[in-house]
Structure 1
Amino acid sequence: MAKLRDIARVVRGKNAGALYLTLDVMFEDEATYRRVRDCGVLSPRALAPLYGVTDNEVAIIPFDVARAIKITVPRRVRSGSPGDTDVYGAQQHVPLMQLEVPE
């Protein structure tokens, strides 16, 4: 199995407003994109525990034309409020990078 960090061209996180994070995973080629999209590794059930949310709070939007997958989850605390450790959401992609993708 390969780690997502080794097969994705881009894995990044950023704010989607003050209350949500968006995570983008982009791929160089169609075959790798489809492999990850279809294998279930980026499912609400798999991602919810990584971000401390419920399955119902995870939105996953595949963009076939761009060979990209967008994931949106609620932030644990509002951006910039006390207790926020990543105001821009720029480090929140790290848990995704460790996911193992089946062949």
Structure 2
Amino acid sequence: MTTLLDYCSLIRSKNAGPFTLTFDFMCHDQTAYDALVATGFLNKELFATLYGTTPDQILLVHHPLALAVKVSLPRPAAQGGPHDTDCYAGQQYAPLMDMEIAQT
């Protein structure tokens, strides 16, 4: 089974302000970056499904010089609000960790 950890040396989620989540996927090397991007795994539809939004509200940016992919989207609940279960958004990446990635 191939997962994000096979491609990335750092995977994190965090706040990008009180209303936005951001995810960073930093790859081991150029080969891992190229392979991860080629899978198409990190896409707007995946994040829309997992985080209850629509693809048009998601910003997905490839940073080839940094060997990284960044994804930003609206937080499900405002930071510190009564329905916020992860004030710093540091655990929001967890649902992605065990997902199998089809290799191309």
Q: Distance in 2 between matches of 1:17 and 1:43?
A: 22
User: 1:69-102: CA deviations, max 9, x gaps?
Assistant: 0000100111001010000010011122223222
- Structure 1 partner of 2:92: 92
Q: CA deviation at 1:7?
A: 2.7
**Contact 2:7-2:36 within 8 A present in 1 as well:** no
- Structure 2 partner of 1:32: 32
1:35-74 matched pairs, under 5 angstroms: 35-74=35-74
**Contact 1:22-1:73 within 8 A present in 2 as well:** yes
Amino acid at match of 1:41: F
Give me the identity figure in percent: 37
Q: Distance in 1 between matches of 2:40 and 2:20?
A: 23
- Number of matched residues? 103
Q: CA deviation at 1:12?
A: 0.3
**Contact 1:57-1:73 within 8 A present in 2 as well:** yes
Gaps of 5+ in 1: none
User: 1:20-45: CA deviations, max 9, x gaps?
Assistant: 00000001111111111122111111
**Contact 1:5-1:98 within 8 A present in 2 as well:** no
Gaps of 5+ in 2: none
Q: CA deviation at 1:63?
A: 0.5
**Contact 1:12-1:93 within 8 A present in 2 as well:** yes
Deviates more, 1:33-42 or 1:61-70: 33-42
